[in-house]
Amino acid sequence: MDVLEKLTILTDAAKYDAACTSSGGNRAAKKGYIGNTSTSVAGCCHTFSADGRCVSLLKVLLTNRCVYDCKYCVNRRSNDTRRAAFTPEELADLTISFYRRNYIEGLFLSSGVFRSPDYTTELMIRTLRLLRETYRFNGYIHAKAIPGTAPELVEQLGLLADRLSVNIELPSEAGLKTLAPDKTKSAILTPMRQIQARNCQNKEELIKYRHAPKFAPAGQSTQLIVGATPDSDFHILRLTQGLYDRYHLKRVFYSAYVPVMEHALLPAKDVKPPLLREHRLYQADWLLRFYGFRAEELLDEQHRDFDTRVDPKCSWALAHLEFFPVEVNTADYETLLRIPGVGVISAKRILSARRAGRLRIDDLPKLGVVMKRAQYFLTASGKIPDGLRFTPDSLLRSLIAAERPQLPQQEMVQLSLFDAVV
């Protein structure tokens, strides 16, 4: 089998992994080495695939042979699909050649479980070592830590990679038991805890010894599949919050479940992936990380799922109308961040701009405030935009109308004279 064919099979098998970021590392170029990691906060996207997702790293599996039989996965043991495996040399050559042509920012190496977690991790370590030591590759590497791997191997992997990730896959233990019988919650959380502890320890080492080897300097991330199990958004968001609080994850990725097979325990194959739900979860995830929201504020036992018509921040604002309007000339940073349509950048710009003089409504769009949402929730020098009239009832309708063009449109259906009147 030639490399082109292997690449096709192993990319196809890896594409359902959502994470493809190159942010978080800031390693400068080194003499005699090729590459560095992106200095930009947002990482660097090298292209966008036809589904609109960023392609930053060469995302492949080392092999799609797998001893596990997770029901939702295309690479499960019982699936009749073509199997392939890269040799470490092929993969290292591919990475370097792509990197030199500026196709990619680095390598995202994941793998099916071949023989055992330890054996697979050893193969991955061999590939990464070849890249780092023989090819002197200094760019970004994201490696998957496979649940059940020996701690010593995770340690070695972390010293070679920039970011490690352990996939939680399903948001509840019950889901894991039914759909991924070979995985357990504790097997997933053990390496996660180890990476977090080692990361903390590494920070201290780096303070004492400037040249101490860095352990996964870009931190760790994880991924959840949304829509394969009946878990609610509230449950997922609280889980996410726990991961950020207790495991200091950099990112939690959500992957809308794409039905790849027919199974009694899974959604039917003609179900569309819940993309809008995934989108709302990402929006809420941002609110947790950058806007100072807590999961319990956004959802509760009565409202267990997000309103798909408006974004989570608007939903929160509509439920807390007593908080508004906010006067942009006097409100503090945390309060500004609560206004729908005001983000981290525009809030900081407001803070800076109002030291130069009082802000008027006309100034706000220039500072990056999205007025179609924000206009209902703020005042500038005591004024709201001219001619704006609304009541709490019309507010929801206006916000939904503002949001609608962004949402996927319903398919047009030809009306028929003979349809039954509903």
Partner 1 sequence: MIYIYDGSFNGFLCCIFDSYANKEVLTAICRDEDFVPTLFASRAIQTDRDHANRVLRKIVKCSPYTAELLQKGFLTCLPDKELYLYHLVVKLLKEGPGFLRNFSDETLYPVLKAVRHLQGEVHLLKGFIRFSELGGVLGSEIEPKNRVLPLLRSHFCARYQNETFFIYDRTHKEALFYAAGKAVIRPLEDFQMAPPDETEARYRLLWKRFYDTIAIKERYNPKCRMTQMPKRYWGTMTEFQNADYFKAQSSSAAAPAPAAPAGISGPGTPPEHGLSAPGSDP
Q: HEC string of 109-168? A: EECCCCCCHHHHHHHHHHHHHHHHHHCCECCEEEEECCCCCCHHHHHHHHHHCCEEECCC
- 51 contacts partner 1 (rule: CB under 8 A): yes
Nearest-approach distance from CB 73 to partner 1, in angstroms: 14
The rounded distance, in Å, linking the Cα atoms of 199 and 163 is: 11
* Of residues 159, 324, 352, 171, the one with CA closest to residue 252: 171
Q: Cis peptide leading into 325, omega within 30 of 0? A: yes
Told to check if 55 binds partner 1 by CB under 8 A, we report: yes
Buried b (16+ CB within 10 A) or exposed e, 96-120: bebbeeeebbbbbbbbbbbeebeeb
Which residue's CB is nearer to partner 1, number 100 or number 320? 100
Q: Per rule CB under 8 A, is residue 272 in the interface with partner 1?
A: yes
Cβ atoms 233, 306 nearer than 8 A: yes
The size of the interface with partner 1 (CB under 8 A), counted in residues, is 59
223 is a contact residue toward partner 1 (CB under 8 A): no
Q: Does 31 bind partner 1 (CB under 8 A)?
A: yes
Q: Is 189 helix (H, G, I), strand (E, B) or coil?
A: helix
Four-residue CA torsion sign, 393, 298, 407, 230: negative
Distance of closest approach, residue 320 Cβ to partner 1, in angstroms: 28
Choosing from 21, 23, 56, 220, the residue that interacts with partner 1 (CB under 8 A) is: 56
Q: Which is nearer to partner 1, 2 or 419 (CB)?
A: 2
Specify the stretch interacting with partner 1 by CB under 8 A; choose among 221-229, 253-261, 283-291, 297-305.
253-261
Q: If DSSP codes are grouped into helix, strand and coil, which group holds residue 198?
A: helix
The distance of closest approach from Cβ of residue 59 to partner 1 in the complex, given in angstroms and rounded to an integer, is 7
Please tell me the distance from the alpha carbon of residue 419 to that of residue 168, in angstroms, as a whole number.
Answer: 47
- 103 lies in the binding site for partner 1 (CB under 8 A): yes
CB of 348 to partner 1, least distance (A): 10
Q: For partner 1, which is the closer residue by CB, 44 or 141? A: 44
Beta carbon of residue 12, minimum distance to partner 1 (angstroms, whole number): 5
Q: Measured on CA atoms in the order 197, 115, 91, 58, is the torsion positive or negative?
A: negative
Told to check if 4 binds partner 1 by CB under 8 A, we report: yes
Are 307 and 268 in contact by the 8 Å Cβ rule? The answer is no
Instruction: Based on the shown chain and the rule CB under 8 A, indicate whether residue 59 belongs to the binding site for partner 1.
Output: yes
Applying CB under 8 A, among 25, 35, 171, 227 the residue interacting with partner 1 is: 35
Torsion over CA: 287, 291, 295, 299 (sign): negative
Q: Which of 50, 264, 268, 421 binds partner 1 (CB under 8 A)?
A: 50
The contact set with partner 1 (CB under 8 A) reads 3-4, 7-8, 11-12, 14-16, 28-29, 31-32, 34-36, 38, 40, 44-56, 58-59, 94, 97-98, 100-103, 105, 256, 258-259, 272-273, 275, 349, 352-353, 355-357, 359, 362-364, 366-367
